[in-house]
Structure 1
Amino acid sequence: MEDLAGPRLYGCYKCQNHVCCHDDVVSKDFQASRGRAFLFSHAMNVVVGPTEDRYLITGLHTVADVHCCDCKEVLGWKYVKAYEELQKYKEGKFVLEKFKIVKVNW
């Protein structure tokens, strides 16, 4: 039945632009500055901004803000580089803040 309805997606809370698939959720246990966040293996219809080093809860990382390609709202960030070995699994993945995304096609 799920195949008939299509994939469960998340969209930008402002414009509902599809930005990621539920199947790409790696973890729902991330924390952003303003609340819960999800870690995704992939994102779509987003623009990745310039990289910068940031000290996050788990240490120093090189990250880039992720913007909706339609309305330009900042939705979260992409991990570009992790400096600690235990954090390397995050590299190339996306963190989207829970309050910045909405369920689409559920």
Structure 2
Amino acid sequence: MDETIGPRLYSCYKCKNHVSVHDDIISKDFQGRNGRAFLFSHVMNIRVGTKEDRHLTTGLHTVADIFCADCHELVGWKYERAYEPTQKYKEGKFILEKSKIVKENW
């Protein structure tokens, strides 16, 4: 009997709240505060913090930290604005740090 397999999910490492799906990964080639990070087009079950300007590896960006909606763990950030023309593709996208998420349903 075949089992029904749903989407491959990423969850908060702390409370297992679902925060994104594998199909929403744009790139796995990003750097977070604590190491490797992934760029996602969409996330879910998160809370967006206050916007602030930060100097990141690729220049100045306006970002907002994102937190798990259940346990309030900092899991990454949202790109609100990119000042460099080559970085505009990041606007409205999300970084989830690899150390803050776990795979579910793989």
Q: Please list every run of 5 or more consecutive structure 1 residues that lacks an aligned counterpart in the other structure.
A: none
Amino acid at match of 1:41: S
The CA RMSD measured in Å over matched residues stands at: 1.0
Percent identical pairs in the alignment equals 69
Corresponding residue of 1:44? 44
CA displacement 1:25-78 (0-9 Å, x = unmatched): 000000012100000000000000010000000000000000000000000000
Corresponding residue of 2:7? 7
Query: Residue 4 of structure 2 aligns to a residue in which SS?
Result: helix
- Work out the CA distance in 2 between the residues paired with 1:5 and 1:18: 16
Q: Please list every run of 5 or more consecutive structure 2 residues that lacks an aligned counterpart in the other structure.
A: none
Residue correspondences, number: 104
Superposed displacement of residue 5, structure 1: 0.4
Superposed displacement of residue 4, structure 1: 2.6
Query: Residue 31 of structure 1 aligns to a residue in which SS?
Result: strand
Amino acid at match of 1:27: S
Amino acid at match of 1:64: A
Normalised by the length of structure 2, the TM-score is 0.96
1:21 aligns with 2:59: no
Corresponding residue of 1:88? 88
Normalised by the length of structure 1, the TM-score is 0.96
1:31 aligns with 2:31: yes
